[in-house]
Amino acid sequence: MLNLILACILAAILGFAAHRASICTVRAVAEFTHSGTGYMFGSIVKSALWVFAITIPVFLLVPQSANSLSGWQLTMTAMLGGLLFGIGAGVNGACAYATMARMVDGEIGMLLTVAGFVLGVLIFVMLIGSGTLVRPAPSPSPIPSLLHVAPYVGAVLLALGLFELIRLWRSRPAGSTLREMVLAPAYRLSTAALLMGVAAGAMLLLFGSPGYTSTFQQVVEAHAGTRPMPPYGRWLVVGAVLLGMLASTLQRGSFRVDWRPRWSWLRNIFGGILMGLGCALLPGGNDALILYGIPGLSPHALPAYAALLLGILVALLTMRSVFKIEMRVACRNDMYIADASADLARRDK
Confidence of residue 145 (pLDDT cuts 50, 70, 90): confident
* Mean of the per-residue pLDDT values of the chain: 90
Predicted TM-score (pTM) of this structure: 0.92
Q: How many of the other CB atoms lie within 10 Å of CB of 129?
A: 11
72: β partners: 138
70 versus 12: the higher-pLDDT residue is: 12
Can you tell me the distance from the alpha carbon of 35 to that of 62, in angstroms, rounded to the nearest whole number?
Answer: 45
N- to C-terminal Cα separation, the chain: 49
3-state SS string over 88-124?
Answer: HHHHHCCCHHHHHHHHHCCEHHHHHHHHHHHHHHHHH
Cβ 288 vs Cβ 209: under 8 Å: yes
Pairing mode of beta strands 331-332, 138-140: unpaired
Question: To the nearest whole percent, how much of the chain has pLDDT over 70?
Answer: 96
- What is the DSSP code string of 239-304? HHHHHHHHHHHHHHT----B----THHHHHHHHHHHHHHHHHHTTS-HHHIIIIITTTT-TTHHHH
Q: What are the distances in angstroms from CA 36 to CA 41, 178, 305, 318, 331?
A: 12, 33, 20, 18, 10
Look at residues 286, 292, 277 and name the one whose alpha carbon lies nearest to residue 220: 277
**Residue 206 class from Cβ within 10 Å (0-12 exposed, 13-18 middle, 19+ buried)?**
middle
279-332 pLDDT, tens digit each: 999 998 999 999 999 998 999 999 999 999 999 999 999 999 988 888 889 898
Can you tell me the distance from the alpha carbon of 40 to that of 278, in angstroms, rounded to the nearest whole number?
Answer: 23
Name 12's Cβ contacts closer than 8 Å, sequence gap at least 6.
Answer: 240, 241, 243, 244, 247
Cβ 55 vs Cβ 208: under 8 Å: no
Residue 225: what residue type?
A: G
Pairing mode of beta strands 70-72, 335-336: unpaired
Confidence of residue 12 (pLDDT cuts 50, 70, 90): very high
Q: Does residue 344 have a pLDDT over 70?
A: no
Confidence of residue 174 (pLDDT cuts 50, 70, 90): confident
63-98 pLDDT, tens digit each: 888 887 888 999 999 999 999 999 999 999 999 989
* Helix segments in the chain, DSSP class H: 2-21, 25-35, 39-61, 76-92, 96-104, 108-129, 150-170, 178-182, 189-207, 212-224, 232-252, 264-281, 286-288, 301-322, 340-348
275 versus 216: the higher-pLDDT residue is: 275
